[in-house]
Structure 1
């Protein structure tokens, strides 16, 4: 299968790299020529734009910063979509928009998948990130070999659009967790508790989380560079709020989170790293929320392994406590 990859930013570039490491024939395109050149140096072919890539490839993956960017790319590709062609949307986007674009692809005889990722750039780089896939089962079976090169845990979530719903939910939860961790760490500092001790206390407790085990380290080291900017956070939490509004759910925390992130952008810039939100509290208290011994960059210490499909709990066998997996492959060479 020839694969096109459009969008080589913080996440997209790493996902494309995983495909290349696994011997996939990849043609790449990005508005940033330097990002394209870096992937060509790793073995990719250079594409001449979205239309040309769709013409040349069996599946085209997009990983772009906004729904508007995805729409522009899909509209450029549409005249060249035909039976057997697949569009795979790995951006975090609006569910109604991905369904609209997917319908346009289907009308041309192609197939569409929304397959956003979750787990951080450090796991995207090693192929150990998690992936949700929304599409019909037949299309999922077609793209699973590609997804299993880019991610470790792959969850088929049903029809197109459902993956995007789940993705904006997880990013909303991650943002809420980041903000509560900023408050918790600052209060512990004010109370005179050692922050290295605080980190370990949280990590071994009911209060731990993926966000704590990753972003708290970057906050405490002072690096504060998680490869995820405030404008992207605002896009994601805004999509979650839009989803709640669409379904008439009166949220209370979500508007406050949006308000806090808006203040962070006003202070540090729209493209500031999201974990700089700790600095709002540092400025308010005069405290320095840092501790020695924490890394300035995140490294995925899990060995890179071939991805596998996760079985949802509702489909698990009787008496099985946790979701199982099927099709787990051996460690990559």
Structure 2
């Protein structure tokens, strides 16, 4: 592709808004659509706001989906049926799990569109900074076509293999993220219940081999009660369930994730689903 591709971004949530601004900043013509239009309207200064999926995708070279789950992605792309350009590439970046990706790959074949499976590592701030890590998988001939978009939204793109490989690696990465978050919450809770200031746990490991920037960020948010969502707890619970489903599908018995999933569910049931996943701490 010798020209700048026209991009249609479907889904303007926590991640999509930052991604959209970086795509536009890279000079790519951009159309945005969201089922709740107000979120898309906030991008009217950098993009064309489409009232329908049809308007967004018609003539677009790259169609990006950044939606909640496989059902919402499938429903949205069904609305695009008959309106996708003949040579369009569908850049599917939602976290939908193994079975969800297989389902969407079948839909792509039915729609007659090449699909790249490319979920991302990172939350709201990396999305705003164009610093996401993209886990891409798909046909070789699509790489150059989607490169301008991936370069705009991310600091690194890993091409892993055929469609589905990116989503599988994303589940493994999220399993680690959730392990860290829940581990920090439990260590803070244990410190507190043993009669000590929980901040002492973070101070003890700070700067050492057991520390990590993410540990201090999430632990600090827990102690400060700062739960503005970078990665909402409800979405984390959804992804934890996708991880367990994938593990069960290959006969892998995970020791930690069932407990993490249970703690996330308890916090969601307590009304914290729209807060950051660090809000799991509130139910410890």
| Post-superposition CA distance 1:276-301 (Å, at most 9, x none) | 111222xxxxxxxxxxxxxxxxxxxx
| Post-superposition CA distance 1:238-259 (Å, at most 9, x none) | 0000001111112222222211
**Structure 1: which 5+ residue stretches go unaligned?**
282-333
Report if aligned partners of 1:264, 1:280 keep a CA contact under 8 Å in 2.
yes
When Rg is computed on C-alpha atoms for both structures, the one with the higher figure is 1
Deviation at 1:61, TM superposition (A): 0.5
- Deviating above 4 A after TM superposition, structure 1's stretches of 4 or more consecutive aligned residues are none
Report if aligned partners of 2:70, 2:104 keep a CA contact under 8 Å in 1.
no
> Partner of 2:230 in structure 1?
227
SS at match of 1:228: coil
> Partner of 1:171 in structure 2?
174
TM-score, normalised relative to structure 1: 0.78
> Partner of 1:316 in structure 2?
none
In angstroms, what is the RMSD of aligned CA positions?
Answer: 1.9
Deviation at 1:98, TM superposition (A): 2.2
SS at match of 2:82: helix
- Distance in 2 of aligned mates of 1:68 and 1:210: 34
Indicate the larger mover: 186-195 or 81-90: 186-195
Indicate the larger mover: 161-170 or 143-152: 161-170
SS at match of 2:27: coil
- Distance in 1 of aligned mates of 2:122 and 2:234: 18
| Post-superposition CA distance 1:199-236 (Å, at most 9, x none) | 34424223223531431222232212242222211110
From 120, 124, 140, the equivalent of 1:121 is 124
How many matched pairs?
Answer: 279
- Distance in 1 of aligned mates of 2:206 and 2:229: 19
SS at match of 1:40: coil
> Partner of 1:2 in structure 2?
6
Q: 1:104 to 1:222 in 2, by over 3 A?
A: closer
- Distance in 1 of aligned mates of 2:216 and 2:162: 32
**Structure 2: which 5+ residue stretches go unaligned?**
none
From 129, 146, 151, the equivalent of 2:149 is 146
Q: 1:118 to 1:92 in 2, by over 3 A?
A: same
Indicate the larger mover: 258-267 or 127-136: 258-267
